[in-house]
Amino acid sequence: MITRPIYLDYQSTTPCDPRVLEVMLPYFTEEFGNPHSRSHAYGWRAEEAVENARSQVAKLINADSREVIFTSGATESNNLALKGVAHFYKAQKNHIITCVTEHKCVLDSCRHLEQEGFKITYLPVQANGIIDLNVLREALTEQTVLVSIMAVNNEIGVIQPLAEIGQLCREKGIFFHTDAAQAVGKIPIDVQTMNIDLLSLSGHKIYGPKGVGALYVRRKPRIRLLALITGGGQERGMRSGTLSPPLCVGIGEACSIAREEMVVENIRLHALRNRFYKAILSELEEVYLNGDLEKRIPGNLNLSFAHVEGEGLMMGVKELAISSGSACTSASLEPSYVLRALGVEVEMAHTSLRIGFGRFTTEEEVDIASQKIIQEVTRLREMSPLWEMSRQGIDIKSIQWAAH
Amino acid sequence: MAYSSKVIDHYENPRNVGTLDSEDDTVGTGLVGAPACGDVMKLQIKVNDQGIIEDAKFKTFGCGSAIASSSLVTEWIKGKSLDEAGVIKNTEIAQHLSLPPVKLHCSMLAEDAIRAAIRDYRQKHQGD
């Protein structure tokens, strides 16, 4: 029998919950109507399903269903929020504030806007991964149209102070967008009390299908966007194109389940994470947590195992599906820009692993994973010249290393 | 990334892991790479009075390909003279391990490590 690796990469993607798949299936076959067809029952039934899904999404974030538009995923939602707002208001204001640890789709959208002449401020983060509200306050100008700060970081799981950012932006009449792909369904999000004006979310991060996301766009006060995709004027003109009822139904159901189960599930995930973390710390020295422990979603740990290179470690724990902040796992040769932004030394960034726990993670899997990681880190440290030097009391920084 | 079976074999069963006494006159030590780049190799050779490498040990911080490259070269250089060991090319290492292009630097580092160890040994014996 071929056994699959234990899945501990829930920030990368999540499996579609079987309950979600079940409600999606009819919309691939008998309920195949175009939700934009107004002239017959096929269309009406599809439209009803899509609108029900829209209200399920809205309910999770305490929005009105008319404020939710469906997209292809959080990347599109982020592109639309940033470029859409920037382009619509460019005659009045031209400054956007974001943060250095944002997802690449936010940073890259900002780069594009910069090339068009917009001014972008990239806020630094503190050593715990959280932005400093005073630094944000000082960065706001008369020209600032939008502040875009992610709710939860995808690598280190830290939670930004959304309510405080929202309040600050509202006082100044600046729009607040948050990329909440890693946050919805994991922490309570309320667009009213948090004064969020635009919010991006993704289906596949919350046990829904891949290929669908949503953007919340506030109606009161109204936020205007210039569409990226034009055509038939669907989604209130903000995103043309025929909606996919099975995908919409899927993300809706995923939101509904998340809303009902979040509180209980978070308690379970906290326990699993603490069990794993304790096991690691009881057996291994020189393990460092990246990002704040308290202001963090329970399903994430990002650990640096000093003197053991991350990719080498992942190869040793091939029974586990995890990811690393080491350069070698990506096409670029730079280690994680998120860890670097926290002030983590390059060499420590090379030794990091991201471990993600989720809805289908069991206690048994967590125990196997911690034991396997302890065993491999111990083995690789015995093989590591840096570990040997550190044991001999040699300061690794005192050595003149040749760059290559 | 899929690793070749030879890389996996060396990673799982590394040959000649360990440390020789770097103060010993018959030992040459090479330490190459940098922690900031994600690879550090320490390669040591023990040379007998006929100028033949009779033992070699390594320790490596790095990915599987880096560990495999250093493990492989310890096998190759044992029994060779310093001149023979000094002409081992990174391309031979890369070819033997079927390293993909993004991992070629691992084989270059292993070549550097051999040369650095030989250089260290020769410096100790300059006046001989």
The string of pLDDT tens digits covering residues B12-65 is: 999 999 999 999 999 999 999 999 888 999 999 999 999 999 999 999 999 999
pLDDT at position B53: 97
Radius of gyration for chain A, computed over Cα atoms and rounded to the nearest angstrom: 22
- Whole-number pLDDT of residue A329: 47
B109 contact A CB<8A: yes
Cβ–Cβ gap B61/A404 under 8 Å: no
How far is A376 from A169, CA to CA, in rounded Å? 47
ipTM higher than threshold 0.90: yes
| Pairwise CB contact (< 8 Å): B67 & A383 | yes
Closest CB to B34 among A311, A326, A402: A402
Q: Do B35 and A386 touch (CB under 8 A)?
A: yes
Residue A327 has what pLDDT? 54
Question: Cβ of A347 and B36 within 8 Å?
Answer: yes
Q: For residue B127, is pLDDT > 80?
A: no
pLDDT at A404: 54
With CA atoms as reference, the chain B residue closest to A381 would be B61
Q: Mark the ranges of chain A whose per-residue pLDDT is less than 50.
A: 329
Q: Which residues of A are catalytic?
A: 328
Nearest chain A Cα distance for residue B80, angstroms? 24
Order of strands, sheet of A175-179, starting from the edge strand that comes earlier in the sequence: A68-71, A213-217, A198-202, A175-179, A144-148, A95-99, A119-123
Say if the Cβ atoms of B63 and A328 lie within 8 Å: yes
- Could you tell me which chain A residue has the CA closest to the CA of B70? A383
The predicted model gives B115-119 an average pLDDT of 96
Q: Which residues of A touch B34 (CB under 8 A)?
A: 401-404
Q: Does B106 participate in catalysis according to the annotation?
A: yes
Map residue B125 onto helix, strand or coil: coil
Does an H or E element contain A176, and which? strand A175-179
Inter-axis angle of helices B5-12 and B90-97, nearest 10 = 100
CB A251 within 8 A of CB A214: yes
Residue numbers in B near A312 (CB within 8 A): 11, 61-64, 66-67
Q: Does A403 touch chain B (CB under 8 A)?
A: yes
